[in-house]
Structure 1
């Protein structure tokens, strides 16, 4: 059996453990796998995810950063790693780093509303309340399926750009 086959099998087993709710066992296996493959972005990301799932946010950060530091992640995993890292920074009170990471996510994945939502929360935490509300109102206007919101979509989008305006649109 090749090293790559072993790597793939061990990674798949660890991910399956996490998905089955055996997160601590998955985390232990992933930490060992990450030690054996320190440059492997996918393993680093999966290891970060397992730490995050256990509430070990501070321990997750270096694995997220390792996963994002070079090539090797699929678009879906890169999206997950950026969102996970940004959210983790926010949970740890590292709000400026959260904003920077989540802005990067918005730039790379502009159609992903989760990035804009988490960015709004981080902006709120940094005291940028106006920017946070603007971002959320824009997202609401663009994505809501609520019939009453849809009927006011144009006005909501307009006021999102200038919350201090009071004239009727």
Structure 2
């Protein structure tokens, strides 16, 4: 059986390889590591990410799902930052694969869990658009724009943008 230090070292090496642009080698190492540690959420997340950066979204899904399942009874769970990243990754991947309803459901929960995260709201808006919920998508993006823009011309009209985001079809 592999020692925890070995697991940590092998995981760190694979993540470093991915960061240095050796994406396929990193993916291969992570797949092998995930096979040896099927209950390890962190390894599953890193393996999902390794597939995603290679455009292998379909192959990434089971690793994201395993990571978000919490690693099982004997596994290692994700840090909040990795959980946020895994939710974003899986939600985006579902959308790219045409699983729009799954994407909306997952990202809606993610936004509730991490309400301060603008990237989650942005990807939710894209998924809402894909499900035909254009008003909801635009409302979400307008609220995000009003809340986060540093553009002085947008900030000048922040209250109006927030007001009209509530009902784009309203006329007075």
Take 2:156 and 2:23, find their aligned partners in 1: how far apart are those partners?
45
CA deviations on 1:51-106 (whole Å, 9 max, x unpaired) are 00000000000000000001610011001000000000000010001101111110
Unaligned runs of 5+ in 2: 72-76
| TM-score of the aligned structures, taking structure 1 as reference length | 0.96
Equivalent residue number for residue 135 of structure 2:
130
Between 66-75 and 15-24, report the one with greater CA deviation: 66-75
Take 1:166 and 1:154, find their aligned partners in 2: how far apart are those partners?
17
Aligned pairs, how many? 167
Between 79-88 and 2-11, report the one with greater CA deviation: 2-11
Root-mean-square deviation (Å): 1.2
Take 2:170 and 2:157, find their aligned partners in 1: how far apart are those partners?
16
Take 2:105 and 2:52, find their aligned partners in 1: how far apart are those partners?
19
| 3-state SS, counterpart of residue 47 of structure 1 | helix
| TM-score of the aligned structures, taking structure 2 as reference length | 0.95
Return the match for 2:123 from 118, 122, 128. 118
Task: Please list every run of at least 4 consecutive aligned residues from structure 1 whose deviation after the TM superposition is greater than 2 angstroms.
Answer: none
Unaligned runs of 5+ in 1: none
Take 1:51 and 1:45, find their aligned partners in 2: how far apart are those partners?
10
Equivalent residue number for residue 20 of structure 2:
20
